[in-house]
C-alpha cells in the first residue's frame, strides 16, 4: 500500500502539473506532491524498520535495508529541493530566463524524475530497473536544456547521447545476466531477472558470462554515476540546467546509478567467487577521485566546480564498495547519504549566489557574506562539510574509508590523501573569495528559501556525531548484504 | 517444434542480412537512405522474431514481433522521415574517417565480436549460435556509425540501430526478455525519439544547423 502510494504520488503529480505547471501556485503544488511522496517513503521506511524487508506484487518490487534508506533519502531531498525551487524558479521566471511553457515542463518532469528514481530503487526486476534509469535520463534531458542557450543545448545533447549509449551497454549486460540466469532458473523462468531470486542462486550462475556482463553493466551504469573516463556529460549537465535540477542530479541520480552497479556487483561476485569485480570498482573509483580533484583547479564556473566535486565523491564511494567488507560498505553507504545531503545544500546556496551576481562565473561572485549572510555562510559551511572537515558526517565516512584503505590497500592511501588535499585547496580558496570581500551583488525579487540548506547541513552534522540506531542497523545489514572484501 | 535445419538456415540468413544492413548503414551518407535502411533492419528483425515464434511456439515472441513492427518499422521511421523533411537535413558532411577506412574497422569489429560471443554462445542452447556474435557485431557497428558521424540525425539512427542489435541478442539467446521489460524498453525508445524531436527543433532554432561541430564550439567555461 505504502509502496503504491510512493510510486503513484509522483506520477499523479506529473500529470496534474503537466496541465497546471505554469500556474501561480504550481511551485506549491509541486512541493505538496513531494511532501506526499516523502510521507509514503517514511511509512515504507517505518515498515522496514519494524517488520524487516518485504516483497510486493509477486516479488516484482522489494524493499530491504539497502534500498530503504535510499528511498527515504530520495524522497527527502526531493521534498527539500521542491521547497528550494519555489522562490528559485520564481526568480528565474521574473528574470525571463524561463517561459511559462518551460515552467510547466519543469514541474511535470521534476515529479516524473523523482518517480522514476523511486521505481529504479524499489523494483526487484533488473530489466525494469534499466527501464526506470533510462526514463530518469529522458525526463531530465529537456530540463538540462531548459534555458535554450547554446551551452545548455550542447549540455542536453551530450547528456542524452552519452548516457543513452552508456545505458545501452547496461541493457546488453542485463541481457547477458538473463541468459545466464535462465539456465539456472528455467526457460522463461519466473523471476529470471528478479534480484532476490538471482541472489539466492548466484553461486550457480555461469562465471564467464557474468564477468562479461559485469563489464557492460559497469560501463553502462558507471556512465550515469559519472566515473572517469565516462564522466564527460556530468559537469555540463550540472552547470547548464536550473539549479534545483543540478541538486537532484548530483544528490540523487548518481546515488541511484551506483546503487545499480552495486546490486550487479553482488551477483557477479557471488558467481565468480573472487574479488575481481571489486578491483574494477577500486580502479575506476581511484581514477575518478584523482582526475576530478585535479580538474577542480581548472574550473571557473561555480556549479561546474561542485559538479567535479560530485565526480570525486562518487569515485570515493565506488572505491569503498570495491574494497568491500563490513566497514568499507558501511562507510560507502554513509558517504552516499552525507554527500547527497551536503551537495544538494551547496547547490541551493550556489544557485542563489549565481542569481545574485547574474552569472555563474566564480570571478564575478564576491562578498556573499556581506549581502546575504545566510547564502554566504550556507555556502561556506557546506563547502567545509563536503571537504571533510570534522565534525561533519563526510569526515566520519572519509575517515572510515581511509583507515580501511590503509589496512587493505595501503598503496591507495597516498593517492587518496593527495587528492583530498588538492580538492581542499581548490574548493576552499574559491569559496573563500566568493564569500568574503567587497560586493557588487543585487537584491533578489523573491526572498530565497534557505531553510533546506541549513536542515541538510544540520543533518550532516548530526550524522557526524551520532547515527540513529535504526539507520546504523540498516547500514550494517546492507553492508553484510553487499559483502565483498577479502 | 520441427527441428528442420531449413528453419535454422533461414534464421541464419536473416541474421546475416542484419549484419549486412549494419555495414550498409556504416557506408551510407545520405540521411534519408540511412532511415530507410534502419526501417529495413527493423523489418528483418521482425521477420526473425516471427520465424522463431513459429518454430518454438512461444506466444511472447509473437507479441514482441508485433511490438517491433509497430515501433521500429512504422513509428520510428515515420517520425524520422518527418523530422528530416521539416529540418531539411539530407546529407551528412564528411565523416571523420573515410568510408573504406570505416569498413576496414568494421570488419575488425566483427572478428572481435565473434571472439567475445564465444563463451556466451556456448551457454545459450537456444536457436542459433552464430546469432549472438552477430548481435554483438551489430551493436558495435552501430556504435562505430555513431562516432564517425557529425550530423545529430545520423547519430540518432546509429543509436536506434544499436538498440536493434540488443534486441536481436536478447531474442536469439533467450527467446526475448520478460514482456514487461520489452514493453518498457520500447516505451523508452519512443519517448526518447519524441524528446529528441523537440530537442532538434530547439537546436536548429539556436544554430540554424544540426551540425554537431557547431554545437561543440559553444562549450561552457572550461
CA A458 to chain centre: 19
Does position B58 have pLDDT exceeding 80, yes or no? no
- C-alpha A350/C-alpha A373 separation (Å) is 13
**Least confident interval from A26-40, A62-76, A315-329, B76-90:** B76-90
Of the segments B34-43, B99-108, B115-124, B211-220, which one has the largest average pLDDT value?
B34-43
| A160 domain-assigned | no
- What pLDDT is stored for residue A221 in this prediction? 94
Residue B212: per-residue pLDDT: 61
Q: Which of B60, B177, B199 comes nearest A127 by C-beta?
A: B177
Q: Which of B120, B155, B220 sits opposite A212 (nearest CB)?
A: B120
Residue A294 belongs to a domain: yes
A24 or B122, higher pLDDT: A24
Q: Read off the pLDDT of each residue in B68-95 and give the average, rounded to a whole number.
A: 83
Inspect the interface and report whether the beta carbons of A175 and B173 lie closer than 8 Å: yes
Question: Taking CB atoms and an 8 Å cutoff, what residues of chain B touch A135?
Answer: 188, 191
- In this predicted model, what pLDDT tens digit does every residue of A300-324 receive, in sequence order? 899 999 999 999 999 999 999 999 8
What is the span of the domain harbouring residue A461?
279-301+314-486
3-state secondary structure of A428: helix
A171 pLDDT exceeds 60? Answer: yes
* B157-193 per-residue burial string, b: 16 or more CB within 10 A, e: under 16: bbbbbbbbbbbbbbbbbbbbbbeebbebbbebbeebb
Is A52 contained in some domain? no
By residue count, chain B amounts to 222
How far apart, in whole angstroms, are the C-alpha atoms of residue B53 and residue B63?
9
Q: Do B199 and A172 touch (CB under 8 A)?
A: no
Residue A436 in any domain: the answer is yes
Q: Which of A128-132, A264-268, A294-298, A435-439 has the lowest mean pLDDT?
A: A435-439
Contact of A212 with chain B, judged by CB distance below 8 Å, is answered with: yes
pLDDT at A442: 72
**Considering only A359-363, A396-400, A407-411, which range has the smallest mean pLDDT?**
A359-363
- What Å distances lie between residue A409 and A278, B142, B173, CA to CA? 12, 40, 40
Q: Please tell me whether the peptide bond between A229 and the residue prior to it is cis, using omega within 30 degrees of 0.
A: yes
Euclidean distance between CA atoms A379 and A377, whole angstroms: 5
Evaluate whether residue A81 is within a structural domain. Answer: no
**pLDDT of the residue at B219:** 44
What part of A 366-425 touches B (C-beta under 8 Å)?
none
Q: Give burial (CB, 10 Å; 0-12/13-18/19+) of B75.
A: middle
Nearest-CA neighbor of A394 among A315, A329, A340? A340
Q: What is the DSSP letter of A262?
A: H
Q: What is the mean pLDDT of residues B112-124?
A: 80
Chain B segment 121-140 residues within 8 A of A by beta carbon are 123-125, 139
The verdict on residue A471 lying in a domain is yes
Give me the pLDDT at residue B17, please: 92
Q: Each residue of A237-287: pLDDT tens digit?
A: 999 989 999 999 999 999 999 999 999 999 999 888 888 899 999 999 999
For residue A387, give the DSSP letter.
T
Residue A25 lies in a domain: no
**pLDDT higher than threshold 80 for residue B154:** yes
DSSP, residue by residue, A441-454: ----SS----HHHH
Closest chain A C-alpha to B203 CA, distance in angstroms: 6
- Specify the pLDDT at position B124: 64
Confidence check: pLDDT of B125 > 60: no
Give exposure, B207-218, as e/b (b: 16+ Cβ within 10 Å): bebbbbebbeee
Of B148 and A340, which is predicted with more confidence?
A340
Check if the beta carbon of residue A182 is closer than 8 Å to that of residue A192: yes
Residues of A within 8 A of B221 (CB-CB) are 299-301, 304, 360-361
Per the prediction, chain B carries an average pLDDT of: 81
| Residues of A in Cβ contact (< 8 Å) with B213 | none
Please give the share of chain A, as a percent, with pLDDT higher than 90. 56
pLDDT score of A361: 87
Write down the pLDDT at residue A454: 92
- Of the listed ranges A235-249, A366-380, A406-420, B185-199, the one predicted with least confidence: B185-199
pLDDT at B218 over 50: no
Q: Does B188 touch chain A (CB under 8 A)?
A: yes
Q: How many CB pairs under 8 A join A and B?
A: 138
- ipTM for this prediction: 0.85
**Chain B nearest-CA residue for A297:** B222
More confident residue, A192 or B104: B104
Is residue A448 situated within a structural domain? Answer: yes
b/e per residue A353-380 (b: at least 16 CB within 10 A): bbbbbeebebeebbbbbebbebbbbbbb
Tell me the pLDDT band of A486, cut-offs 50, 70 and 90. low
* Cβ atoms within 10 Å of A187's Cβ, excluding its own: 13
- Domain-by-domain residue ranges, chain B? 5-212
**B4 has a pLDDT exceeding 70:** no
| Chain-chain contact of A175 with B166 (C-beta, under 8 angstroms) | yes
Q: Enumerate the residues of chain A whose CB falls inside 8 A of the CB of residue B129.
A: none
- Count of structural domains, chain A: 1
Least CB-CB distance to A188: which of B152, B175, B202?
B175
Average pLDDT over residues A33-40: 94
The grid coordinates listed for A269 are 561476485
d(CA A402, CA A410): 9
> Which residue matches cell numbers 557588487?
A440
Amino acid at each position: 500500500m505504502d509502496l503504491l502510494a510512493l510510486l503513484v504520488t509522483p506520477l499523479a503529480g506529473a500529470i496534474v502539473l503537466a496541465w497546471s505547471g505554469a500556474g501561480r501556485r504550481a511551485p506549491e503544488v509541486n512541493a505538496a506532491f513531494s511532501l506526499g511522496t516523502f510521507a509514503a517513503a517514511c511509512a515504507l521506511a517505518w515498515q522496514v524498520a519494524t517488520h524487516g524487508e518485504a516483497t510486493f506484487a509477486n516479488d516484482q518490487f522489494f524493499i530491504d535495508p539497502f534500498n530503504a534508506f535510499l528511498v527515504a533519502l530520495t524522497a527527502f531531498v526531493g521534498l527539500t529541493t521542491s521547497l528550494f525551487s519555489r522562490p528559485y524558479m520564481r526568480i528565474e521566471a521574473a528574470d525571463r530566463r524561463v517561459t511559462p511553457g518551460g515552467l510547466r515542463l519543469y514541474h511535470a518532469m521534476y515529479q516524473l524524475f523523482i518517480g522514476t528514481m523511486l521505481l529504479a530503487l524499489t523494483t526487484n526486476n533488473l530489466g525494469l530497473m534499466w527501464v526506470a534509469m533510462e526514463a530518469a535520463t529522458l525526463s531530465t534531458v529537456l530540463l538540462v536544456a531548459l534555458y535554450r542557450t547554446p551551452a545548455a543545448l550542447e549540455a542536453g545533447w551530450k547528456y542524452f547521447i552519452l548516457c543513452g549509449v552508456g545505458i545501452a551497454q547496461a541493457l546488453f549486460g542485463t541481457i547477458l545476466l538473463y541468459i545466464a540466469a535462465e539456465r539456472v532458473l528455467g526457460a522463461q523462468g519466473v523471476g529470471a531477472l528478479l534480484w532476490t531470486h538471482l541472489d539466492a542462486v548466484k553461486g550457480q550462475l555461469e562465471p564467464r558470462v557474468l564477468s562479461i556482463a559485469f563489464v557492460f553493466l559497469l560501463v553502462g551504469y558507471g556512465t550515469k554515476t559519472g566515473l572517469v573516463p565516462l564522466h564527460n556529460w556530468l559537469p555540463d549537465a550540472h552547470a547548464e540546467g536550473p539549479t534545483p535540477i543540478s541538486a537532484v542530479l548530483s544528490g540523487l541520480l548518481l546515488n541511484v546509478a551506483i546503487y545499480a552497479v552495486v546490486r550487479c556487483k553482488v551477483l557477479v561476485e557471488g558467481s565468480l567467487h573472487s574479488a575481481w569485480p571489486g578491483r574494477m570498482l577500486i580502479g575506476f573509483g581511484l581514477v575518478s577521485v584523482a582526475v576530478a580533484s585535479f580538474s577542480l583547479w581548472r574550473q571557473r564556473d561555480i556549479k561546474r566546480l561542485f559538479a567535479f566535486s560530485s565526480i570525486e565523491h562518487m569515485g570515493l564511494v565506488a572505491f569503498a564498495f570495491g574494497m568491500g567488507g563490513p566497514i568499507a560498505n558501511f562507510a560507502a553507504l554513509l558517504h552516499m547519504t552525507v554527500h547527497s545531503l551536503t551537495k544538494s545544500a551547496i547547490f541551493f546556496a550556489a544557485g542563489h549566489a549565481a542569481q545574485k551576481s547574474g552569472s555563474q562565473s566564480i570571478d564575478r561572485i564576491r562578498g556573499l557574506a556581506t549581502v546575504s549572510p545566510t547564502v554566504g555562510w550556507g555556502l561556506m559551511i557546506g563547502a567545509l562539510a563536503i571537504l571533510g572537515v570534522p565534525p561533519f558526517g563526510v569526515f566520519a565516512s572519509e575517515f572510515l574509508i581511509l583507515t580501511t584503505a590503509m589496512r587493505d590497500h595501503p598503496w591507495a592511501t597516498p593517492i587518496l590523501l593527495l587528492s583530498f588535499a588538492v580538492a581542499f585547496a581548490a574548493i576552499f580558496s574559491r569559496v573563500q573569495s566568493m564569500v568574503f570581500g567587497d560586493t557588487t551583488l543585487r537584491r533578489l525579487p523573491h526572498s530565497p528559501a534557505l531553510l533546506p540548506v541549513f536542515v541538510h547541513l544540520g543533518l550532516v552534522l548530526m550524522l557526524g556525531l551520532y547515527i540513529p540506531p535504526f539507520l546504523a542497523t540498516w547500514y550494517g545489514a546492507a553492508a553484510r548484504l553487499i559483502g565483498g572484501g577479502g | 517444434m520441427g527441428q528442420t535445419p531449413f528453419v535454422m538456415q533461414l534464421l541464419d540468413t536473416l541474421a546475416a542480412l542484419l549484419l549486412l544492413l549494419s555495414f550498409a548503414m556504416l557506408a551510407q551518407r545520405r540521411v534519408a537512405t540511412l532511415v530507410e535502411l534502419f526501417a529495413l533492419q527493423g523489418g528483418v528483425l521482425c521477420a526473425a522474431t516471427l520465424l522463431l515464434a513459429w518454430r518454438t511456439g512461444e506466444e511472447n515472441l509473437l507479441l514482441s514481433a508485433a511490438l517491433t513492427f509497430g515501433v521500429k518499422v512504422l513509428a520510428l521511421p515515420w517520425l524520422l522521415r518527418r523530422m528530416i523533411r521539416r529540418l531539411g537535413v539530407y546529407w551528412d558532411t564528411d565523416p571523420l574517417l573515410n568510408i573504406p577506412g570505416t569498413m576496414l574497422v568494421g570488419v575488425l569489429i566483427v572478428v572481435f565480436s565473434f571472439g567475445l560471443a564465444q563463451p556466451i554462445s556456448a551457454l545459450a542452447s537456444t536457436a542459433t549460435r552464430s546469432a549472438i556474435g552477430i548481435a554483438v557485431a551489430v551493436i558495435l557497428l552501430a556504435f562505430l556509425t555513431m562516432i564517425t558521424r557529425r550530423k545529430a540525425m545520423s547519430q540518432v539512427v546509429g543509436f536506434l540501430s544499436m538498440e536493434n542489435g540488443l534486441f536481436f541478442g536478447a531474442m536469439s539467446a533467450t527467446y526475448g526478455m520478460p514482456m514487461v521489460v520489452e514493453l518498457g524498453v520500447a516505451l523508452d525508445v519512443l519517448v526518447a525519439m519524441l524528446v529528441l524531436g523537440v530537442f532538434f527543433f530547439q537546436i536548429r532554432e539556436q544554430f540554424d544547423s544540426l551540425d554537431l561541430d557547431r554545437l561543440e564550439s559553444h562549450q561552457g567555461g572550461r
